[in-house]
Amino acid sequence: MSLLIENAMILTMEAERAVPMPGDLLIEQGRIVAVGDVSAEDRARAVEVIDATGLVAMPGLVNCHNHAAMSILRGFSEDLRLMEWLSEKMWPAEARMTEEDVYLGTLLATVEMIKSGTTAFADMYVFTNAVAQAVVDSGMRGVLTRGLIDMPEGEAVRFQEARELLARWNGAGDGRISVMVGPHGPHTCPPAFLRRAISLAEEFGAPLHIHLAETTEEVELIRREYDRTPTEYLHEVGLFDHHVVLAHSVHLTPGDIEILKKVGLRGGIAHNPISNLKLGCGIAPIGEFLRAGLTVGLGTDGPGSATTLDMFEEMKAAAWMQKVKAFDPTALQAGQVLQMATSEGAKVLALDEQVGTLTVGKQADIILVDMRAAHLCPPHDLTALLAYSASGADVHTTIVAGKVLMRDRQLTQLDEQALIAEVTARAKRITAGI
Ligand SMILES: N[C@@H](CCSC[C@H]1O[C@@H](n2cnc3c(=O)[nH]cnc32)[C@H](O)[C@@H]1O)C(=O)O
Ligand SMILES: [Zn+2]
């Protein structure tokens, strides 16, 4: 089965090729086999052809931090402080969620992601068999974790589910699923619990994914409890000896950044600008991270907090926040936020050998963005238009591992309206009286 995309403007996002070029892409058996020039012979072999005149072809967007099933809790509780929002609203609601709720909530989120150009996402949640099944059924790529919180009951069940995810789902969905270990955060994971999570990761050779220094409350709590910064705490327990995804990392000190630099952090930071803005958390020091040589990707955080999973919005927010933080419009530029949303995000999620750039041999995770719109005219600088003017609604076609999941804005696998009806009914039951 081969797919030819012809007459596109191609933005490969390869480090050495910053400017878009006109050309074609050939995909065979889920992989990219030609970029730019496709021979007449190869063209003749293509079973399916997409005419991409007026469209940009670029790598699918990589969402480095999500709690996808929380789409079922979207809009239910707004304008609270994070700790209050979690303990008084989200956790009681989550306690009522069934495996089926998580399956459908995740599936609804995948619809939103596919429609806004995201092809891979990292997730941390519960009922992870259901999350994994939804990823398989959606056709997307997922980097999954079972969120591990040290709560009074159920530690054994949590670790059992984390283990099952690693043993049963790593490599599932024709290799579209990979699994990490997800201790929730410094303030929800005491040292022995964190060590247990690290041992599990070591046993399976898996990376880890954790929240870090999201709020000033967290920083104060860890200071009181351990007389450390959250980063120092994680370092001492030994987390940074592994590939790790650090979500948020808003309140890191110069000393913390020095630690991450010194350990030669494998993995990187999942920056969630809109969630940080909306929850009033603060502005992460992205400029300092990049100057220290750390890898930074972009994420949305769960649809309960960020309220949308549109990565184009995250690109804009990331750039605007760094500019206003530094009082400097030259800070974090269009090309950089596009890299964060694609090639850099793939590195953070340890997916860079498979996706993140349009390179021969990589998996065909590709989006086509329709530039034939008033708000994307004139075409002086496609990079700037994509980073600052486009939105998820401009995505025309979404392809994962060579499979077309949306074409000309029509989903090929999932029934959006049926999912909306089902999730709406379930959301009512879950949130009643909370
Ligand atoms: N509560 C679960 C384990 C955690 S899964 C991941 C958790 O992260 C929570 N979460 C969502 N957004 C955020 C955030 O911004 N910061 C911290 N936690 C969050 C979410 O509500 C979910 O409970 C259990 O019973 O075992
Ligand atoms: Zn989160």
Whether 378 shows a pLDDT value over 90: the answer reads: yes
- Residues surrounding ion ligand 2 at CB below 5 Å: 301
Look at residue 151 in the predicted model and tell me its pLDDT. 87
285 contacts 53 by C-beta, under 8 angstroms: no
How confident is the model at residue 155, as a pLDDT? 83
The yes-or-no verdict on residue 146 having pLDDT over 90 is: yes
Ligand 1 contact via 69 beta carbon (within 6 Å): no
Is residue 18's pLDDT more than 80?
no
Q: pLDDT by residue (tens digit) across 76-99?
A: 888 898 889 999 999 999 999 999
Q: pLDDT at residue 166 above 80?
A: yes
- Domain residue limits, the chain: 2-58+365-411, 61-348
Query: Which whole number is the average pLDDT over 4-22?
Result: 92
**What pLDDT score was predicted for residue 82?**
86
Average pLDDT of the segment spanning 316-343: 97
Q: Cα Rg for the chain, rounded, in angstroms?
A: 21
pLDDT tens-digit series, residues 182-219: 999 999 999 999 999 999 999 999 999 999 999 999 99
Angle between helices 254-262 and 230-237 (to 10 degrees): 30
- Note the pLDDT of residue 95: 94
Tell me whether strands 267-271 and 296-298 are parallel, antiparallel or unpaired. parallel
Residue 275 CA: nearest ligand 1 atom is: 15
Instruction: Output the six-digit token pair for 211.
Output: 């929240």
Binding residues for substrate: 94, 146, 184, 214, 301
Answer whether 332 contacts ligand 1 (Cβ < 6 A): no
Q: What angle do CA 104, 106, 107 make, to 5 degrees?
A: 60
Q: List the residue whose alpha carbon is closest to atom 17 of ligand 1.
A: 211
Return all residues near 239 (Cβ < 8 A) that are at least 6 apart: 194, 198, 208, 210
């999942």: which residue's tokens?
A: 270
The pTM of the full predicted model, rounded to 2 decimals, is: 0.98
Question: Locate tokens 């891979």: which residue?
Answer: 120
SS3 225: helix
Residue 154 pLDDT exceeds 90: no
pLDDT at 83 (0 to 100): 87
Contact by Cβ (8 Å): 289, 269: yes
Angle (CA) 355 349 301, round 5°: 115
Give the HSE-up count for residue 314: Cα atoms under 13 Å, Cβ half-sphere.
37
Query: Ligand 1: which of 149, 215, 272 to mutate, judged by most atoms within 8 Å of the beta carbon?
Result: 149
Q: Which ligand is nearest to the CA of 149?
A: 1
Secondary structure letter of residue 60 according to DSSP: P
∠ at Cα 269 (263, 271), nearest 5°? 160
CA pair distance 144, 125, nearest whole angstrom = 8
CATH of 2-58+365-411 given 3.40.1190.20, 2.30.40.10, 2.60.120.260, 3.40.190.10:
2.30.40.10
Asked if pLDDT for residue 362 goes beyond 80, the answer is yes
Q: How far is the CA of 184 from the centre of ligand 1 (A)?
A: 7
Task: Check if 305 has its Cβ closer than 6 Å to any atom of ligand 1.
Answer: yes
pLDDT at 297: 98
For residues 235-239, give the mean pLDDT: 98
In angstroms, what is the span from residue 78 Cα to ligand 1's centroid?
Answer: 16
pLDDT, tens only, 172-184? 999 999 999 999 9
CA of 49 to the centre of ligand 1 (A): 43
pLDDT tens digits for range 33-66: 999 989 998 888 899 999 999 999 999 999 999 9
Cβ of 403 below 6 Å from ligand 1: no
Assigned superfamily of 61-348 = Metal-dependent hydrolases (3.20.20.140)
Give which of 399, 416, 421, 413 is closest to 117, Cα–Cα.
399
